[in-house]
Structure 1
Amino acid sequence: MPVSASSARIPKVPFWAQIVAGLVIGVLLGWLARSQDVGWLKETLSQVGGIFVQLLKLAVAPLVFFAILVSITNLRKVNNAARLAAQTLVWFMITSLIAVAIGLAIGLITNPGAGTGLTPKDGKLPEHQGSWIDFLTGIIPTDVITPFTELNVLQIVFMAAVAGIAALKLGAKAQPILTLSESVLELLQKALWWVIRLAPIGTAGLIGRAIVNYGWDLIGKYATFTADVYIGCALVLFGVYPLLLATVAKLNPIQFYKGAWPAIQLAFVSRSSVGTMPVTQRVTERLGVPKEYASFSVPFGATTKMDGCAAIYPALAAIFIAQIFDVQLGVKEYLLIAFVSVIGSAATAGLTGATVMLTLTLSTLGLPLEGVGLLMAIDPILDMMRTATNVAGQALVPVLVSAREKILDLAAYESASASPVDDLVDVPAAEQKTPVSAAA
């Protein structure tokens, strides 16, 4: 009997399973390369991981510019846009405060810097530093080219915001530019999808490279700190967020995680909120958030909403570094940490990772910047969980605001599922919905 084409077709491996396979293979190859001192394998893992990160970075600058520009101009389709924007900002701040409080509490309970065997001489000055003056003056670029070549996302956001507001003021005269911008954005998102499909291979390279470079002994020295970061992020990701969904939005948290899971798992692997942004926006829309509002709130959150990198992590890191350098922190310092986490979180947009945000926090507290060097080696392992928490929060806030303003499509929310990444790719990015309005 002939075998039908459908029965003979090789089953498609789910994307999450590909990611897990990449993690396992990366760990095994990294262990083999380090233990057996296999030079070519070390170089291969390093190159594979480096190329994947470089491909993500290649799309970041133009993607952020056109995403922010289009998202601002899309607000013209939304009634009471100012109210929605204000509500978004308020909930960004509220969730950041909760996250930094959890980070401080865990740090005070566990004393992550005690008994590590690390000393101040183990630290070194970071290559990139942040200060309030640099943060405030660094928002405005000196020219229009440098922010793209140096990947200064904060300056790119500034230029995109100015261009978007100017386009709104011009009205119909700016329509050709807006049409072109929307087409370019779709093109960039399609190209980024191709990079995203390489995530399992990139994962193997990144994890393998980390094990080759640092081994397991390093993790032992940072065991408490690493556990604190993962526990703190997990409490926010699987404790605070579900509680807010259930109490504030009156929604089933399980449905949120079903819908948002593709973005969360990709964030864990890619370690890039901006690189994950197209997936985050797509899953947010599938959770019932109106497209016009999601196209504003998600890009805005991808560059400023960082509960993992800008709240939990700097709080724990400040306590860790203070204990290594034998510096006493008091109530004033803890309040400053909370302030920096809420107000200065946009500083994380400048670079991949949380180095700038951490140096901003340390300089505000008067702690030695050499402490950043103590954490650089372990940073890739921490950044995976931090970024997953960031992206979950970036999807959560639009859902909360939409539910509170009664513009959330409840039927879409209840039917949301963990769609494979490939399915999300094929959804037309240009599909339009009717304008939405925030309920009074």
Structure 2
Amino acid sequence: MAVVSTPVTLERALPAMDDAEVLRIRNDFPVLNQLVNGQPLVYLDSGATSQNPLSVIEAEQEFYEQRNAAVHRGAHHLAVEATEVFEDARQTVADFVGADYSEVIWTSNATEGLNLLSYAFSNAGLWAAQGRGDEGLSELALNPGDEIVVTEMEHHANLIPWQELAFRTGAALRYIPVDDAGSLRMDLAGGIIGSRTKVVAFTHASNVLGVINPVAELVGMARRAGALVVLDACQSAPHLALNVKELDVDFAVFSGHKMLAPTGIGVLYGKQELLDILPPFLTGGSMITTVTMERAEYLPAPQRFEAGTQRISQAVALAAAVNYLTETGLDRIHHWESELGQCMVAGLEAIPGIRVLGPAAGQDRIGLAAFDVEGVHAHDVGQFLDSKGIAVRVGHHCAQPLHRRLGLTATTRASAYLYNTTDDVDQFLDAVAGVRAYFRA
């Protein structure tokens, strides 16, 4: 299969990835070495959840075998070692995204990180009204007449928390629409992000369209309006070299399970000066300085937002996943996935009765493709592909408003990662080509 190249400006210190290297990489992922319905597994659902290499599995297992203990709570040997590896993991992840150590907060996933922010903004209003906390806190509070801006392509995790924040505070929720091709209407964005905007929250890369949004332009609009910027990096952190400082976002979230780590671990990044004045969301042990029967005083970030026993082994495993990605090279991974994505889109566009969402072949996108098969429901498409051993995602991908805008209720999505080969894409395209005939559509 001829690989369709797309322009990539990233400099690569190592040679570009190829099928031979990917086959070696696959040996690190035991789950991929199995048969599904009598066929070798072709896993094209990493946009939902990625698989775990042995080094990540072993890192979590080694923690439980050698140093399992509560962190920040004991003076004995195991507790000290557990705390060290837990905080070392924080530094590893901070370095991975260009953040400072104390700007990385552990969460269960990106969804929790966004809800944490939403409720912290709510609490900022309550604290400010009672004269509690930093004097700059009122600048973070939302009030009736303020506006929160999102986009029409957001995952529900970056939409519903802001809907609820608007409901709690009386602020208005506005959105930047998409055009018929799924791109943001940036010609309208300047009239939507304005003097009343307090928060602008948007996805770096769409989990449905594959489009990479113009972060610098959106951040510039938010800065001119004096608004805070929240970046959903779930589909970018695992695939693109990411530097939150260079992007100049105020907050960012991503999930470990999409980047080779276990489920149950995610990251909220926030600028230190903002985290230190935001009120906490969850309260309890390990995040306080002084507690009386009447009130409590809280630690600075990150502990300020990490109440209770933390996701210790998962954080250690996430650090191992970050090391795996770093050693492989994010720029190389991005280049390879872009090639696979272009192959998928070009191949799908050539099949009669297939509508591909997002940028056309030859245009920049991440390595996924969501599509509609004329006359066949997405769930039937998914089951047909599964019978061939091919794992894809079906449904609205937690983006109902976007699907509704594009006149669809559900689509099928194939998403590639560093362990996928061009042969995987070939098998996928051959199977999709037979869908309509099988269902007599």
Instruction: Work out whether the TM-score is over 0.5.
Output: no
* Structure ranking higher in helix proportion: 1
- What's the TM-score once normalised by structure 2's chain length? 0.22
RCO comparison, higher one (Cα < 8 Å, 6+):
1
- What's the TM-score once normalised by structure 1's chain length? 0.22
